Structure formats: structure tokens, C-alpha cells
Amino acid sequence: MMVEMVAPTLDDIICDPSAGSCGFLVATGEYLREQYANKLMRPEHQKKFQENTFIGMEFDPTMIRIGAMNLILHGIETPKLNDVDALSEANTAFTEQATIILANPPFKGSLDREAVDPKVINIVDSKKTELLFLGLILKGLKVGGRAAVIVPDGVLFGSSNAHQQIRKQIIDNHKLQAVISMPS
């Protein structure tokens, strides 16, 4: 559903900053193959599709291997899978790189503020991972980019300064098109 909502094209650069087994990237690849089957027959489109369309980030080496295998089994042979903690200072280069971000980031837990990329902290000053990932997503999107992200209800209704800060950022500086609430 999320892939269909963002309606990727062959011109997009798709990222999942919490890639896990790369399910969103696989689903996007399948969507693109269905929608652009004829164009993907051309070598220039196939080259971009294979080498410059997909970016995944994951800090668990086992999940990187599983995600890479999943992508390969679905015909995506050379994605950019980065072995990095997406929220850390090691990922500061991820700025305005993607035109589409699809994510189901971890909701539980908090991080040591000093370990988080300062550019993300500038967007949302928090230790909560669900808020920090939203900051990372906003930082990583190119102008005009779009994102579909699974978030807990607390992001929408939390009253802390950080919750208010990220909602203000999304509403004032970006274009929120929909909030879809799914039954538990």
C-alpha cells in the first residue's frame, strides 16, 4: 500500500533507512517492473535501476546479508546497502539523497544524544528513535521528495517539546498529505 501511495517512477531514488530484510525495496522494485516493463528493457534504464535506484541502511550485519540476498533473489543485483547506524554521525552524508523514503523504523528505545548525527538533532532534539528517524527522513529527502513512514500514535499525539517540534517541522516545512490509522 505504501509503495502504491508514493507511486515511484524510474527517475526516483528510493531509500529505506531501517532496511532490515529490504522488504520495502523489494516491493518497490516489483512495482517499477510492473509499471515500466517496456522501459526497463532499455539498457540505460536497466543500469540505473540496478545501480542507482535503491539505498538501504542497516546496522545489523546479519540483516544486511539477508536484505542483500532478498534483493538479489528479486532481481536487484547491485543496490547500495550501507552497513551503518542510520542515526549516527557515521551517516552525516545522507542529506538530500533520496526522492522517496519508505520506512518502518524501530519505535522502542532511546539513544545517547551524543551518538546521533547533529544534523538530525537540529531537526528534532530528542533521544526517542521514532522521532529521530523522522528527522533523518526529512534530512535525507531531496526537495520535492516524498515519504511513507510507519509511526506509532505517540508521534501524532505526544505532547513533549520534541513531538511538537517534529510535527511543526512536517506541517510548516513539508507537505503532509495523509495520516492513515490502521487497526491494531
Phi and psi dihedrals of 138, rounded to 5? -65, -40
> 109 pLDDT band (50/70/90 cuts)?
low
Residue range 79-96: mean pLDDT, rounded: 94
**Is residue 101 scored above 90 in pLDDT?**
yes
Q: Are 14 and 22 in contact (CB under 8 A)?
A: no
Q: What is the pLDDT of residue 114?
A: 84
Query: Mapped to the 3 state alphabet, what secondary structure does 95-144 carry?
Result: CCCEEEEEECCCCCCECCHHHECHHHHHHCCCCEHHHHHHHHHHHHEEEE
What percent of the chain lies above the pLDDT cut of 70? Answer: 99
Mean pLDDT of 1-9: 97
Mean pLDDT score of the chain, rounded to an integer? 94
Rounded-to-integer distance, Cα 159 and Cα 4, Å:
32
pLDDT at residue 79, as a whole number? 92
